[in-house]
Structure formats: structure tokens, C-alpha cells
Amino acid sequence: MFEREARDDRISELPVHIIHHSLCYCTKLNLKEAARSCILSKRWYYCWISRPHLIFDQFEGNKYMPPEKYVKLVDQSLRSHVEQNLRLELLILGYRDEELDSHLDTWIELAVKLNVTLLGISLPLLISLPDAIYAAKKLTVLWLCRCKFEFDISTTCIRFCCLRDLSLYDVHISDDQLQRLIERSPYIRNLMLQNCQGISKLHVFGLVYLEDLAAQYSKFDSVIVQAPNLRCFTYAEHEDNFLPREIAILDGYNTLQTLKLTGANITDQQFRDLSYKFPNISELNLTECYKLKNIEIQSEKLKIFTLLKLKSLEKVTVQAPNLLEFDFVGDKMPFSFMDPSSLERAQLVFSSLSTNLLGLARCEWEIKRENGKWKNQ
């Protein structure tokens, strides 16, 4: 019997990297499934504890992991990697119990010691980050949610020399700290700031590799960007924060392809200037930009065009012979000219300010072109 089991155990013969790839489907810490896999083979057990992708989520769907079990699991996994000098590519920590905060510094220090390359942290409240994180010189992706930066810009050494992607959600960071972070991360390609506190301006200079920048719902007084290879720029602000703000893109004239503005205080003339400066925009999204009244577009590159809830809009003229997709939400259709010959999909939603017995009047159409004919979806 034992000889037959030995012959049938083909799993142990698989290369370690293939087993690690298979275990990636268990990295959400479904421990029962992982345990079943590890029982199949001793090698699977070794590969489970040595896997380079560690994802620790205290909540997985409706399943909750008690704090003591969560701490034990994270501690054992990280210390095992340190003791055996194992490779750690990805570490994600997500929890909601505040009593776990006291362990965060140790976990980050261990991850940095292991030269982690992708690090994601989601916390229940604003928690200060340890200085150890700034020594993560191999880090390429950093994703932070509800963290607080408290480093001293004059004494803290930041070594993000490999950082490519930086995403900050609901974090607290000062203007000076953000500037230092950007200065010490020269290879950033993707930068996201959303619902951030403590900052009033986003001034990005010197990031020659920056391709995607998103500044959303952070109450910036000014956003100034100089990035010669910028491809996508997204700006969004809440309706109650439509204060006078400066938005300036000083470079990327030939590279910018996607422009998304929500709640931007942009005027008709400023929009015309943008259209002239960035002739290669292929995707344009304008949402709740209430100062826009007369939109004029002449572009052979524009393929996706979205207009949503522009309350002051009076006239739209579009000359875009290669436009493929169009979305519109408003109370009227103020188009004086638009050639739909190249369109493949269009969605039109009209909301009337007047009400009837059913409440707010609303009409919606979505049509697609199939085999040269328009079909209502």
C-alpha cells in the first residue's frame, strides 16, 4: 500500500516554483483548503510555509479570524522566512482590531529585512508608520490605507530607489513629507492619492518615469504636474469642495492619452487650452465640471468621450471622426454638431428637473453597433 502511495505521489516531483504558483490561489488564508493541500505531500507543506506571497486578511468574506490567531499566523510566517532566509515578494496585512496595532512595527521591520518588493497595509484607524519602512530599498509597490506619516524630513533617510507604484488611501501626510517622499522615489510610474489628510497641494516635479497620476478627494488647493511621460491624469473632488483650485499640467504634451476630471473648476477657455496642448488624448471624461458651458472638441485621436452631470452646459460641438464610445448624463442634449459615423457604443441618460407621480423623470438608452447596424440594448 505504501509503495503504491509513493508511486502515485507525483506532486512531490513538481518544481517548487510551480507549487508556489498553485498555492497563490490559497494566499487568502483559507486555511482548511491549504491544510488539505499540504497533507498531500511533505513538499507541499514546505512550499506552503516558504511561499513568497503572504496575504493576511483578518476578514475573508464573512469569515473572521480572532486577533490571537491572526498574530500567531503572521508571526510564524514572517519569522520562518527570516530564520530560513526565504524570499518574500508580496506581503499584505489587513485587519480591523485595534489591539493588533502594537504588532505592526515588528511585522514591517521583518518584511523590510526580507527585502519585500510589494507591500500593502490596511488598518482600522490612522496608525503611525515605523521608520523601518523607509529603508525598504527593494520595494517596488507600496499600497497604504489609513496610515499616518510622522517621519522627520530633516533626519529620516528614505531609500525608495526601486519604488514604481505608490498608492495612498485615507492617509495623513504633510505637504513637506509628500514632497520628500516624491523626491526620494525617482522611478515612480503610478501615483495615487485618495481621501488624504494633512496636505493642501500636490506639486510633482522631476518624475520623468511617471505615467499615471490620480489625485482624488483630498481637498488640494493646487495640483501642478511636470512629468514628460505622463499618460493618464485623473482629478476628482467632492461637490461640497468645489473651491477655486489650480490644476496645471506643465508637460506630457505628446504622451497624455487619458484625461479624467471630476469637480474641476475649469472654464471654457481653460478647456480649449487643454485640448490644444494635449492633441493625443484618446479618452476624455468630464464629470460635474459646473463652470463648463461651451465645449468645443476637434480631435482625430479621441475614441472615448464621457460627459456626466454638467449642469451649466449649453453647447457642445464635437469633431472627432474616430470616436468609438460616448456616454452622456444630463437633463438635456445640448449638441450643436456631432458626427456619429464611427461610434460603436453610446449611452444616453436624461434626468428632468421636474417630477411626476413616480418621482424624478429619467430616460435611458444604450445602443451598440453590430454588423453595421444599431441595436438598442
CB 88 within 8 A of CB 108: no
CB 263 within 8 A of CB 288: yes
Q: What is the pLDDT of residues 87-131, one digit of tens each?
A: 999 999 999 999 999 999 999 999 999 999 999 999 999 999 999
Which one of 3.80.10, 2.30.29, 1.10.10, 1.10.3470 gives the CATH number of domain 53-256?
3.80.10
Q: Which pLDDT does position 197 carry in this prediction? A: 96
Mean per-residue pLDDT for 201-217?
96
Q: 371 pLDDT exceeds 60?
A: yes
Q: 270 pLDDT exceeds 50?
A: yes
Q: Which pLDDT does position 34 carry in this prediction? A: 53
Q: Which pLDDT does position 162 carry in this prediction? A: 97
Distance CA 20, CA 50 (A): 8
Q: Which pLDDT does position 239 carry in this prediction? A: 73
Q: Which pLDDT does position 92 carry in this prediction? A: 96
Mean pLDDT score across all residues of the chain: 86
> What residue ranges do the domains of the chain occupy?
1-51, 53-256
* pLDDT tier for residue 24 given thresholds of 50, 70 and 90: low
Between 24-33, 214-223, 363-372, the lowest mean confidence (pLDDT) is in 24-33
Q: 72 pLDDT exceeds 80?
A: yes
Alpha helix (H) ranges present in the chain?
Answer: 2-8, 16-23, 31-39, 42-50, 67-83, 101-113, 175-183, 268-277
Q: 297 pLDDT exceeds 90?
A: yes
Q: Which pLDDT does position 369 carry in this prediction? A: 76
* pLDDT tier for residue 6 given thresholds of 50, 70 and 90: very low
CB 286 within 8 A of CB 263: no
Distance CA 61, CA 44 (A): 26
Percentage of residues of the chain with pLDDT beyond 90: 67
CB atoms within 10 A of CB 300: 12
CB 239 within 8 A of CB 245: no
Mean per-residue pLDDT for 18-27?
56
Q: What is the pLDDT of residues 317-360, one digit of tens each?
A: 999 999 999 999 998 888 877 888 899 999 999 876 444 444 45
Q: What is the pLDDT of residues 128-184, one digit of tens each?
A: 999 999 999 999 999 999 999 999 999 999 999 999 999 999 999 999 999 999 999
Specify the pTM: 0.87
With CA atoms as reference, report the closest residue to 333 among 298, 295, 299: 295
Q: Which pLDDT does position 356 carry in this prediction? A: 42
Distance CA 359, CA 363 (A): 13
Q: 289 pLDDT exceeds 60?
A: yes
Between 10-19, 108-117, 256-265, the lowest mean confidence (pLDDT) is in 10-19
283 phi/psi in degrees, rounded to 5: -130, 120
Distance of CA 187 to the CA centre of its chain: 17
Q: Which pLDDT does position 243 carry in this prediction? A: 63
> H or E element: which one contains 144?
strand 141-148
Q: Which pLDDT does position 70 carry in this prediction? A: 93
Q: Which pLDDT does position 352 carry in this prediction? A: 62
Q: Which pLDDT does position 252 carry in this prediction? A: 84
Distance CA 127, CA 220 (A): 22
More confident residue, 104 or 6: 104
Contacts of 268 (CB under 8 A, 6+ apart): 291, 292, 293, 294, 295
Between 12-21, 55-64, 112-121, 329-338, the lowest mean confidence (pLDDT) is in 12-21
